[in-house]
Amino acid sequence: MTALLEVEDLRVAYGKIEAVKGISFKVDAGEVVTLIGTNGAGKTTTLRTLSGLLKPVGGQIRFDGRSLKKTPAHKIVSLGLAHSPEGRHIFPRMTIEDNLRLGAFLRSDRTGIEKDIQRAYDLFPILGERRKQAAGTLSGGEQQMLAMGRALMSQPKLLMLDEPSMGLSPIMMQKIMATIAELKSQGTTILLVEQNAQAALSLADHGHVMEIGKIVLTGTGQDLLHDESVRKAYLGED
């Protein structure tokens, strides 16, 4: 069976500096796969390349059996790959509902769009309660909910989440992780970059540890969670 996403020997550079140095991994349909590592490991660069925002200097990306090498970012979205970026990047002066509708800008099925807006409100009730409120007035955690809801509006085959818990309170982080677990239970395929390694590995079917642009360790989420080197380096344990 062909994986939904296949990354092979991916290399990405900023000028002469190689940020991603030949990584390979795959994501099967229905899986949660996580990339963990310190700042500067190349995790965000990897996601930005998969979504077409950066162009690789080498390697292959195949999504749903199709090469993405020369595919522009807007076309990648239409193929079913959605990216909820680090820092959220919502439109602060627009309402919550208008932000959600922007996530469906490539769709023309009005009934389906309304259904998916309601799904976002079911996942994140606080957004439904404040749907006419300017998005910039939301808390950081609420803005993260909105960014995730907006990404889901494109009906993705694969949802990429970049640091969804960054800067959030412990309670709000738990809410975001619980939502990711709920999406997983609904069959959503997720590629997760997350600073909280323990939370990410607890959710993940498979994980990859990145260091300075390379994948240095791969395993199931549970194997990595109990790996001594991972526990020392990323879980703060001696």
Asked if residue 1 has pLDDT above 70, the reply is: no
pLDDT recorded at residue 195: 86
What mean pLDDT value characterizes the chain?
A: 93
- Orientation angle between helical segments 170-185 and 140-152, nearest 10 degrees: 20
177 part of a folded domain:
no
Distance CA 178, CA 168 (A): 14
The number of C-alpha atoms within 13 Å of 141 and in the hemisphere containing its C-beta is 14
173 part of a folded domain:
no
Asked if residue 185 has pLDDT above 80, the reply is: yes
Total domains present in the chain: 2
Match 């970059």 to its residue by tokens. 193
122 part of a folded domain:
yes
Average pLDDT of 228-232? 89
Range of the domain at 120: 83-155
Bridge partners (DSSP) of residue 192 are 34, 161
- Same structural domain, 91 and 65: no
